[in-house]
């Protein structure tokens, strides 16, 4: 499959037709501040709310809830409530959710490989301005 698929003949790339532009839709989902972090933290296995809270340093309760809800909504993770006191809720990636590991790894490769040149370019650019 080619990246050109993002641009079928006669079709423009517009953010307003997300369902016909899957990549756009995906980027909207994982492009926010915390989604990728939460997914990565869940890759090793199920985690509880508070565990995630501690692991994702800097996240607020509100954003952790929002992020988890978004992933649950899209079927990328499951939310399991254990009826006990104190309450215990476990989050676990589904197969589609775990499948994100591949693409994310690719992106990580690129990030690491080009990080130095990117930071250097950024420094130079900012210095000139």
Partner DNA sequence: CTGGATCCGACTGGATACTG
Partner DNA sequence: CAGTATCCAGTCGGATCCAG
* Residues making contact with a copy of itself (CB under 8 A): 1-3, 5-7, 12-16, 19, 22-27, 30-34, 36-37, 40-41, 43, 55-58, 72-76, 96, 99-115, 117-122, 125-126
Q: Taking CB within 5 to 8 Å according to partner kind, which of DNA, a copy of itself, none is near residue 23?
A: a copy of itself
Q: Which residues contact 29 (CB under 8 A, 6 or more apart)?
A: 35, 70, 74
Q: Which of residues 23-42 bind DNA (CB under 7 A)?
A: 32-34
Of 58 and 102, which CB lies nearer to DNA in the complex structure?
Answer: 58
Binding track over 41-80 against DNA, x by CB under 7 A: -------xxxx-x----xxxxxx-xx-xx---------x-
Of 69 and 109, which CB lies nearer to DNA in the complex structure?
Answer: 69
φ/ψ of residue 80, rounded to 5: -115, 120
């Amino acid at each position: 499959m080619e990246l050109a698929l993002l641009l079928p003949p006669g079709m423009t790339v517009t953010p307003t037709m997300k369902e016909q532009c899957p990549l756009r839709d995906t980027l909207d989902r994982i492009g926010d501040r915390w989604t990728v972090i939460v997914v990565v933290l869940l890759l090793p296995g199920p985690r509880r709310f508070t565990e995630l809270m501690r692991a994702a340093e800097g996240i607020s309760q509100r954003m952790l809830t929002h992020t988890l809800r978004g992933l649950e909504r899209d079927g990328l993770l499951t939310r399991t409530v254990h009826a006990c006191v104190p309450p215990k809720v476990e989050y676990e990636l589904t197969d589609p959710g775990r499948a994100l590991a591949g693409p994310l790894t690719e992106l990580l490769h690129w990030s690491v490989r080009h990080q130095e040149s990117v930071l250097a370019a950024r420094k130079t650019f900012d210095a000139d301005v």
